[in-house]
Amino acid sequence: MEAALAAPRLPPHDPRTPALSVVDMHTGGEPLRIVHAGCPEVAGPTLLAKRRYMRQHLDYVRRRLVFEPRGHRDMYGAILVRSELPDAHLGVLFLHNEGYSSMCGHAVLALGRFALDFGLVPAPPDAPPDGAREAQVNIHCPCGLVAAFVACEGGRSCGPVRFHSVPAFVLAADLTVDVPGHGKVVVDIAYGGAFYAFVSAEKLGLDVCSAKTRDLVVAASSVTEAVKAQFKINHPESEDLGFLYGTILTDGKDAYSEEPTTNICVFADEQVDRSPTGSGVTARIALQYHKGLLQLNQTRTFKSSATGSVFSGRAVREATCGDFKAVIVEVAGQAHYTGTASLTVEDDDPLKDGFLLK
């Protein structure tokens, strides 16, 4: 029996449907399922065109990756594609329970390790005596080119990864919205590769550190829906990026401190980020810098109320995005591998394209 099981082979499956070969990782508890083989070609001259093509023609791949029975409603995925940018080492499309994101920081941190360990970028020369060398991995995300920096020893990744964001900016500060069940609530809307609404959980009668996750999800979702109904989200450079991704509830500790500040992100269809949210940290740093609460190169630590995992972030330099003053933000966090899998389909399976329970 042991000999029979020693050589891995695929179970019976539809030979017309290639198995999806995936590597599973997590960053701060937030999962990432990376497809490195088996996905049909994603057509399009640009990455945003590929994102539209994926949504219109290949959405069954997302459902098979993310939904039950192969995944769950909080699963997250990444499809590797070719980029049209000459400086990019890889392009990526981000998948979640509702569709396709424009940016995902926890995924970039994981993909930095993956790209180095799986040979998508060359390993730097051996480390000097005083520490590890870094490999730069240029990842073309739908929001733009993001540079990840991966420490390397002996040709393999090691330790935390950091990335430099696209220009991050504040779209609306101190915006009043009418939230059902809570009345008028003041929120901020900021962009870190994706747009988020930010509000202290205390304004909604909750403690982000101790409230039940379900109560935080309901409150955050109410804010998201209110903002979508009452405020138009526009990105200065692309219509594809002009949407509200979710709401981040915070502990209200926005002034600079060496102590961690806690938040939780609820995005897409009530999906809960287990990590501190890389693009959310990016946007929150931009918001704090915009309000004069943070200076360039002051590092803050952000803690997830879901798992206690932490990312660090700092504004490294000023930039612009259209007419908006912006900052480039560095975010750092630790990703880990959790396994590999080959996901198959049997043609007579009525649930082959997945399902979700709500």
Which helix H or strand E contains 51, and what residues bound it?
A: helix 47-57
For residues 239 and 224, what is the distance between their CA atoms, to the nearest angstrom?
A: 19
- What values do phi and psi take at 275, rounded to 5? -95, 175
Q: Are 105 and 163 in contact (CB under 8 A)?
A: yes
Per DSSP, the three-state class of 231 is coil
Q: What distance in Å separates the CA atoms of residue 336 and residue 123, rounded to the nearest whole number?
A: 19
| Distance separating alpha carbons of residues 74 and 53, to the nearest angstrom | 23
User: Residue 335 in contact with residue 76, Cβ under 8 Å?
Assistant: no
Report d(CA 201, CA 185) in Å as an integer: 11
In whole angstroms, what is the distance from residue 213 CA to residue 56 CA?
33
Buried-exposed string 51-67: b where 16+ CB fall within 10 A, e elsewhere: bbbbeeebeebbbbbbb
Rg (the chain; Cα; Å): 20
143 is catalytic: no
Our CA angle for 313, 314, 320, nearest 5°, is 120
User: Contact, 296 vs 318, CB < 8 A?
Assistant: yes
Q: Which of 104, 141, 143, 265 is catalytic?
A: 104
Residues with active-site annotation = 104
